[in-house]
Amino acid sequence: MTNDPLVIAGKTFHSRLMVGTGKYPDTETMLRAIEASGAEIITVALRRIDLDAPKRSILDDIDWTRYQILPNTAGCRTAEEAIRVARLARAMGLGDWVKVEVVPDPKYLLPDPIGTYEACKVLVDEGFVVLPYINSDPELAKRLEAIGCATVMPLAAPIGTGQGFSAGLEPIRIIVEQCQVPVVVDAGLGVPSDAAIAMELGCDAVLINTAIAKAQDPVMMAEAFRLGVEAGRKAYLAGRIPKLPYASASSPTEGVVRS
């Protein structure tokens, strides 16, 4: 959908599907799935890279000229840890884009709203392009937009669960209504129909990792998510019919010849 670009921090993308790089069975499958997804933004967990003594890593397998690499602070439990990791990534030459994750709870992996806000405030002030991972909290989303975050990335369900919109659609709908920056649904989506629903709500993009990487056929699932995102976006742009409390005949009743 080249005539309907996604713009983040002044940079234009033609895919509204972002993908992660974790949990794949092997590097070849990961690269084939990324190709099939059509994604242009790829997330990489900085904790999977030895930042103090760099050696061959996942970053060596990805074509930096083709994709926007989005380092993330997965594994950071406090704002201070997230800030430090982001700074180290910048020092390594990974650029200014960072997906901020502050997740202290190892069981449910829900983001810490206060720690996330604190980390984002510091990193925005230091010139980072900040994409924060958050709960589906409309008030927090507005506050993060106000301090200069490039997107907001609310979860649909706890990360890796594949539950879809277990917390309901209404908080996401409110975030879409209230925020001017792109809204990217991140975490919990399980199947392409979940992605289509997110796009039909008016979300600007989705980020998928586990649902693709752990599928029986990751490459086919990546393609399926690409199609789901495209279908959902087209449906949103086309404008759905209103929901009615009663039936409405498909054929008009006016002018019908009656016996």
Averaged pLDDT of the chain: 90
| AA letter at 59 | L
Burial 150-162 (b: 16+ CB within 10 A, else e): bbbbbbbbbbbbb
Please identify which residue in the block is written with the tokens 């790829």: 42
Q: Is residue 251 part of a domain?
A: no
Per-residue model confidence as pLDDT tens digits over 211-240: 999 999 999 999 999 999 999 999 999 998
Catalytic annotation, pick one of 11, 23, 55, 99:
99
Give tens-digit pLDDT for 62-76. Answer: 877 889 999 999 999
For residue 119, give the 3-state DSSP assignment.
helix
The pLDDT assigned to 248 comes to: 81
pLDDT band at 15 (very low <50, low <70, confident <90, very high): very high
Instruction: For residue 71, tell me if it sits in a domain.
Output: yes
Residue linked to tokens 């927090």: 140
Please check whether residue 187 is in contact with residue 166, taking contact to mean a CB–CB distance below 8 angstroms: no
Residue 54 counted as domain residue? yes
Judge whether 152 and 134 are in contact, CB under 8 Å. yes
Question: Distance between CA 79 and CA 122 in Å, rounded?
Answer: 9
Residue 20 pLDDT class (50, 70, 90 cuts): very high
What mean pLDDT comes out for the span 76-103?
A: 93
* pLDDT recorded at residue 127: 96
Q: Are 153 and 185 in contact (CB under 8 A)?
A: yes
Q: Considering the domain boundaries, does residue 253 fall inside one?
A: no
At 130, phi and psi to the nearest 5?
A: -105, 125
> Kind of pairing, strands 184-186 and 97-100?
unpaired
Domain membership of residue 1 (yes or no) is: no
Whether residue 229 lies inside any domain: the answer is yes
- pLDDT, residue 244, reads 87
The answer to whether the beta carbons of residues 16 and 192 sit under 8 Å apart is no
Contact 100, 116 (CB under 8 A): yes
106 within some domain: yes
pLDDT band at residue 119, thresholds of 50, 70 and 90?
A: very high
For residues 93-106, give the mean pLDDT: 92
For the chain, the domain total comes to 1
- In a domain, residue 98? The reply is yes
Q: Which residue has the higher pLDDT, 56 or 15?
A: 15
pLDDT in tens, 166-214: 878 999 999 999 999 999 999 999 999 999 999 999 999 999 999 999 9
pLDDT at 249 over 90: no
Q: b/e per residue, 221-240, with b = 16+ CB within 10 A? A: bbbbbbebbbbbbeebeeee
In whole angstroms, give the CA distance from residue 46 to residue 60: 13
> Annotated catalytic, 99?
yes
Rounded Cα gap, residues 95 and 47, in angstroms: 16
CATH number at residue 41: 3.20.20.70
Residue numbers of the domain that contains 176 = 6-238
Q: What is the pLDDT of residue 189?
A: 94
SS3 for 253?
coil
